[in-house]
Structure 1
Amino acid sequence: MPIETIPYKETGFFSKLICDYLAEDDSIRPFYHRFPNIEAFRDQIEEKNKGYDHNFRKTLVSALKKQLEGLSLSEATQANIEALHSEKTFTITTGHQLNLFTGPLYFLYKIISVINLSEALKKEYPDHDFVPVYWMATEDHDFEEINYFNFHGKKIRWNRADGGAVGELSTEGLDAVLEIFDKEMGSGKFSNGLKELFETAYTKHRDLTRATRYLANELFGAYGLVIVDGNDHQLKTAFIPYAQQELEKRTAFNHVTETSSRLKELGYPEQVSPREINLFYLNEGLRERIIEKDGVYHVNNTQISFSVEDIIEELHTYPERFSPNALLRPLYQEVILPNLCYVGGGGELAYWLQLKKYFDTVEVTFPILLLRNSALLIQEKSLDKLKRLQLSVRELFLPVQELENMHTRRISEIDIDFSKQREFLKQQFRSMYEIAEKTDASFLGAVAAQEKKQLNGLDKLEKRLLKAQRRKLSGELERITTLKESLFPGESLQERYKNFSEFYLEYGPELLSVLKKELDPLVNKFTVISW
């Protein structure tokens, strides 16, 4: 059950850019299209309907059916795929890497956000259909980011050679990872179910794309989730004109660079730096940047090169060999999907905010940007500990040092706050200043220096007293630190570290149903859920 929602800004874990976006700060307004509230979707639907190539729907459905062959699809998912034929059907999309066994817990929050938003939109706009979409980042090549997941404080890692797009990596060797995972789980009510889920996904599917597709479908298929793999010849045919423009005109580089400069002037750091060409060349075991020099296009770290004419011919013949990077992937997604909204984390939305002018230039509708749900799952026994320690849930979001100092001041039988002494000292010096003003400037400076020295002395005494009381109360402070670490591992958000399996092991399928029930994608606040 949700026990509290906290403004993202008050958690201390979200950037100024994202907090300003959520506050609809005027400085951010030029960098997005429509703010994510239910009413904004009316105009978004109308605009996307006019801007989307509805003739591509048949190709989209055909590609999806081919990709999903062999999966046991729910009636809801099958109905959603068929619904994409209709001009009254739109998508709500999130994307994620192919992390081993879903990676961090927020993978669930992303997908639940798109499912719940799709359902909310259907209630508001019953004449339309809304399809929740998970876009698999199959073309990424950073294996070190996705080859592990954390379980009970241990990193369960897949060790193998990497190279090329991660989606094409063979799952050979993951049976050894299953053995480690099984041993760490031990016996429990839902351990066999988790083991079977991992085993079927990773030892009975030949590559990481198929394994991840199976896993996501098993977890969310009942809610009608449609899973898309952008690494597809049929789908990339629609992207050929934009990829050609990228090769010939550097459109993304020019406009994103300008937007990034404007954001920097406002004090926001650049999330992703644009390349002159934001495309990779993709082939078996290979995904390398395309670099142009003196009219020749080179594939980085290879002997492959093309003339202008040859690379354009290659693009038209083999569009699947041209892979967009993080800045171009959003455009590719919005070109092929009748999409209204992208749901992502803070880092993702930060680079989407770099893209608005680029989208306008290439005349593709910019989607509504929605920050995915974030949550803290806290058990009743942890809540009981909080009560005994006289702490609130909100206070747990403080850094450890600040939390311990605050608690020490609160429970110490000695008043550690020297504010009264500082005010008394300042009053004494006021009379000294009156005397000093009747003399010369040097004496006035001496009085000011003495006041500062004595105030600094009070600060030092207060810190020493606080340190002494911390030592005296070390037992209770240690209990706070232990509780904090269990809920914020490594002083990070739980969702960025823990894997869903830790919670599924205890609660089973109820985990997903509770999260779906309690997470509201449009609330724009951090949610605390107790169990």
Structure 2
Amino acid sequence: MPSDCISYQSSGYFTPLITDYLNQKDTLKPLYHRFPTLENFKAQIEEKQKNYNPAFRSVLADTLQEQYKNINTSALTQHNIDLLRKDDTFTVTTGHQLNLFTGPLYFLYKIVSAVNLSKELKAAYPQQNFVPVYWMATEDHDFEEINFFTFRNKKIKWPRESAGPVGRFSTEGLEAVLDVFSKELGLGKNAAWLTKLFEDAYIKHTNLADATRYLANELFSSEGLVILDADTAGLKKLFAPYVQEELLKQTSHLKVAETAALLKDYNIQVNPREINLFYIEDTLRERIILQDGVYHINNTELKFSEDEILALLDSNPEKFSPNVIMRPLYEEVILPNLAYIGGGGEIAYWLELKSYFESAKTTFPILLVRNSVLLATQKQADKLDKLGLSWADMFSKQQDLLNKKVQSFSEFKLDFTDQKELLKNQFEVLADIAAKTDASFIGAVKAQEIKQIKGLENLEKRLLKAEKRNHTEQLERIVLLQNELFPGKGLQERKANFSEFYLEFDGSLLSKLFSQLKPLEQEFNVVIL
């Protein structure tokens, strides 16, 4: 069997920023606190224990108990909630939007990464406890990003109008989505289980936050996952001093802007606003804008003086919602958290935040790129072997892969590099002669060199094309296999939904992920189902 692990750096699917972070490039070291190694967690534990407010533990645990009161909670999840009251318990957190029916596969990989890292930490540091947490992004308002999932290349969408934080959305209208989905699933035990899971989550719960909590709990409660909705007055009251700082001094904008200068050689993931807070109600989430000493709520008639908005913060902290810049601080203030696990895009914006955390006197978490996975069947793995391909080949751009295989199939060399190099050497001699006789000929010699090299390149392309025709059948099989594994020439984990794999492989999907994914190894895993 070909190698089934590909480094993130060589996969071709990570940005230069994330590749440089993984390579621990010196210029990026000021932007993170500790690199994710098992040994580095020792100092992280000690620092977080010193800096985390122990009084927050009871508020956190009480909030979770309230949120879980109507859910059939596993003994392990309940135990983990209870452990959060203890000073020697820490969390490993991942966050995700409330994508319909979990959305793309990488939702699973984030949570598996958090669970498996918690287990690794417990083995390495048995005196402490480690709880995996899924932070539901209930306050987001980008409904168009979450209102669909893809099943066997078919987009199953929830068409409705949206306004306000998505966690508070009514699930009304999802019966029609279930009807479409169940028909796509067909018959059978696994199809029936998936249909019931969708129904119990979305039809029997009245809002998207409760539906998503139920769904994630059904999938992961056996592993002790704790699911948190931070859109609550009790938790936001703990964060109120940081909200007040933002309203009065706009600290996040100043600090993140400073850090952005250190990332000038990369694409900045997010840009801070002057105030990185929203005002929210059930059907409203709008930016807070400060103009001439007055706080305006964008796209509304609402406005507040300084005294009025501070009074509102004191009486109704739940009306203030942190944006992407402040949400990480909110998380790290209210959780005894050690590490944040996210995709490349998330880690990129966390790298903008360290100086902001320092100004807020809050421990910056260890940043871990989540596990990435390519799921394949045994049949696909067998095809790969027969075609003489490696899993690394599958990550190549398709045209590059085909060209490489044509070269290997051919009885003669299709690469004219040697001939082009010989031609260049000959023209160097001609250019030297021209320079010594009549310098006006140098231009003519150069033009002829370009023409001759171009001619060789054209011959090379024609020969390659002819050879492709001779190996059409094998190349078509390669294309078909790569297109199966990389739908739309992109990552499977960013498109496919878990249901199409569960339909065929049921519980073995999650069990294989838990047994094979190692979050600290930072490799693209190929998992054979």
Per the TM superposition, whether the score is higher than 0.5 is: yes
Task: Encode CA deviations 1:257-287: one digit per residue, 9 max, x unaligned.
Answer: 11112201xx111101111011010002111
For 2:422, the equivalent position in structure 1 comes to 424
Task: Encode CA deviations 1:36-76: one digit per residue, 9 max, x unaligned.
Answer: 00010110011111111001111111111011111111111
TM-score by length of 2: 0.98
Which deviates more from structure 2 when the two are superposed, residues 181-190 or residues 445-454?
445-454
For 2:225, the equivalent position in structure 1 comes to 225
SS at match of 1:228: strand
Task: Encode CA deviations 1:417-440: one digit per residue, 9 max, x unaligned.
Answer: 112322332343344244334313
SS at match of 2:81: helix
CA contact (8 A) 1:2 1:528 kept: no
Matches within 5 A, 1:347-496: 347-496=345-494
Shift of 1:473: 3.3
For 1:328, the equivalent position in structure 2 comes to 326
Matched AA of 1:290: I
Shift of 1:170: 0.8
For 2:519, the equivalent position in structure 1 comes to 521
SS at match of 1:172: coil
Q: Is 1:150 the equivalent of 2:166?
A: no
Task: Encode CA deviations 1:140-182: one digit per residue, 9 max, x unaligned.
Answer: 0011000000001100101111111111111111111111111
For 1:12, the equivalent position in structure 2 comes to 12
Matched AA of 1:457: G
Q: Is 1:106 the equivalent of 2:106?
A: yes
Shift of 1:444: 3.2
For residues 381 and 61 of structure 2, the distance between their equivalents in structure 1, rounded to whole angstroms, comes to 48
Q: Is 1:195 the equivalent of 2:195?
A: yes
Which deviates more from structure 2 when the two are superposed, residues 324-333 or residues 422-431?
422-431
For 2:259, the equivalent position in structure 1 comes to 259
For residues 373 and 297 of structure 1, the distance between their equivalents in structure 2, rounded to whole angstroms, comes to 42
Matched AA of 1:341: A
Matched AA of 1:517: S
2:500 to 478, 487, 502: 502
Task: Encode CA deviations 1:63-100: one digit per residue, 9 max, x unaligned.
Answer: 11011111111111111111111110000000000000
For residues 221 and 42 of structure 2, the distance between their equivalents in structure 1, rounded to whole angstroms, comes to 27
Shift of 1:451: 1.8
For residues 2 and 43 of structure 1, the distance between their equivalents in structure 2, rounded to whole angstroms, comes to 39
1:339 to 337, 340, 345: 337
For 2:29, the equivalent position in structure 1 comes to 29
CA contact (8 A) 1:171 1:205 kept: yes
For residues 470 and 291 of structure 2, the distance between their equivalents in structure 1, rounded to whole angstroms, comes to 67
CA contact (8 A) 1:2 1:530 kept: no
Task: Encode CA deviations 1:469-520: one digit per residue, 9 max, x unaligned.
Answer: 3344333322222211110111111111111111111111121111000000
2:306 to 297, 308, 317: 308
SS at match of 1:438: helix
Q: CA RMSD in A?
A: 1.4
CA contact (8 A) 2:2 2:390 kept: no
SS at match of 2:238: helix
CA contact (8 A) 1:256 1:274 kept: yes
SS at match of 2:160: coil
SS at match of 1:202: helix
Query: When the two structures are aligned, how many residues end up with a matched partner?
Result: 529
Matched AA of 1:229: D
Shift of 1:406: 1.7
SS at match of 1:415: coil
For residues 530 and 364 of structure 1, the distance between their equivalents in structure 2, rounded to whole angstroms, comes to 42
CA separation of 1:3 and 1:70: change in aligned 2, threshold 3 A: farther
SS at match of 1:290: strand
Matched AA of 1:303: E
TM-score by length of 1: 0.97
Uncovered stretches (5+) of structure 2, i.e. residues with no partner: none
For residues 39 and 100 of structure 2, the distance between their equivalents in structure 1, rounded to whole angstroms, comes to 37
Q: Is 1:65 the equivalent of 2:65?
A: yes
CA contact (8 A) 1:3 1:530 kept: no
For 1:271, the equivalent position in structure 2 comes to 269
Matches within 5 A, 1:134-213: 134-213=134-213
CA contact (8 A) 2:141 2:285 kept: yes
Shift of 1:2: 10
Task: Encode CA deviations 1:382-412: one digit per residue, 9 max, x unaligned.
Answer: 1222222222211111111211222222213
CA contact (8 A) 1:189 1:506 kept: no
Matched AA of 1:291: I
CA contact (8 A) 1:35 1:368 kept: yes
For residues 237 and 2 of structure 1, the distance between their equivalents in structure 2, rounded to whole angstroms, comes to 54
SS at match of 2:62: helix
SS at match of 1:53: coil
For residues 161 and 432 of structure 2, the distance between their equivalents in structure 1, rounded to whole angstroms, comes to 77
Task: Encode CA deviations 1:317-340: one digit per residue, 9 max, x unaligned.
Answer: 100000000111000000000000
Shift of 1:302: 0.8
CA contact (8 A) 1:2 1:529 kept: no
Matched AA of 2:345: G
Q: What is the aligned-residue identity percentage?
A: 56
For residues 421 and 318 of structure 2, the distance between their equivalents in structure 1, rounded to whole angstroms, comes to 71
Uncovered stretches (5+) of structure 1, i.e. residues with no partner: none
